[in-house]
Amino acid sequence: MTTGKPVGDPDFDWSWSDEDPSWVPPDIDITKPSPARMYDYALGGKDNFEVDRKAVEQVATVLPDFRHLARLNRRFLVNAVRIMSEAGIRQFIDIGTGIPTSPNVHEMARETHADARVVYVDNDPIVMAHNRALRATVDGVITVQHDARTPDTILADPKVRQTIDFDQPVGLLFIAVLHFVRRDLAADVVSRFRNAIPSGSHIAISAACTDGMDPKTVAKTEAVYQNAAAQIVFRSAAQVEELFEGLELVPPGLRDVSQWRVEETAAEIRVQAGIGRKP
């Protein structure tokens, strides 16, 4: 089946793709693991390929609690959306959303605000396929195909502008995505979004952190991701804190994701998490 539009076209309609579960978008390279599909597998999903499963199993030889870490990150996302919603935020942009896993951002937001609007952003065609298929009929919820490293393009997208009112507070989510963005670029990405949103907006970030990790484990983890579609970039806690420049940290501040308003055993990959409010 064809739509008459190239696969890279942001308006390409992926919603029909779930009719054939064996179908693979023509621009997918299934010889390389995808972080989004690896994350899906770690969470127990089915939208992944053998190369992704092998990569996760390889990570698990270095980090046996990798799946535990994926669940911790997901819980932080759920808590972040709940906290933002309770603060009165009714619109969200989820950057690097990944393959849909319930509860989704719009499901959580609409527990507090039935009219909450959500923009999901990702550049992975498989993510686009499943996001658009599952959310095609949900009013006020859209998925757009963009790279997290191009904030100006995301902010200028007409569909984003139609869904999000940038005169009202926005909830921005960078959950487990900025550790796939270069250290020197990530701070600029966050600042461009921060400058585009009004006072009262919130930004949630979780990112891989070297503090508390064995250097050998860091090196082995980086080696696993070396052949993936995106390489992992570890930061120090101080470098993660720099991402919150110009924001007021919401209690309990910046913590390991295992200790952010909960108390669980930390994973071997340390992930710093926090929510910042724009004053």
pLDDT of residue 7: 39
Residue 142 lies in a domain: yes
Q: Decide if 270 is inside a domain.
A: yes
Asked if residue 144 belongs to a domain, the reply is yes
In 3D space, the residue among 139, 142, 150, 145 whose CA is nearest the CA of residue 127 turns out to be 145
196 lies in some domain = yes
Whether the CA torsion 223, 205, 128, 188 is positive or negative: it is negative
- Name the pTM for this structure: 0.82
How far separated are the first and last CA of the chain, in Å rounded?
50
Q: Is residue 152 part of a domain?
A: yes
Q: Is residue 205 part of a domain?
A: yes
| Enclosing domain of residue 188 | 72-277
Which spans in 87-166 are helix H?
105-112, 125-135, 151-156, 158-163
Q: Does any domain span residue 23?
A: no
User: Does the residue 262 lie in any domain?
Assistant: yes
Determine contact, residues 203/248, Cβ cutoff 8 Å: no
Q: What is the CATH number of the domain that holds 146?
A: 3.40.50.150
What is the pLDDT at residue 93? 98
Q: Count up the domains in the chain and report the number.
A: 1
Cβ contact 146:154 at 8 Å: yes
pLDDT truncated to tens, each residue of the chain (279 aa)?
333 344 344 444 434 334 434 444 445 667 788 777 887 787 777 777 888 888 888 877 777 777 788 889 989 999 999 999 999 999 999 999 877 677 889 999 999 999 999 999 988 777 777 666 665 568 899 989 899 999 999 999 999 999 999 999 999 999 999 998 998 899 999 999 999 999 999 999 999 999 989 898 888 888 877 777 678 899 999 999 999 999 999 999 999 999 999 888 888 789 999 999 999
Instruction: Write down the pLDDT at residue 76.
Output: 95
Alpha-carbon gap, residue 201 to 251, rounded angstroms:
16
The pLDDT of residue 266 is 83
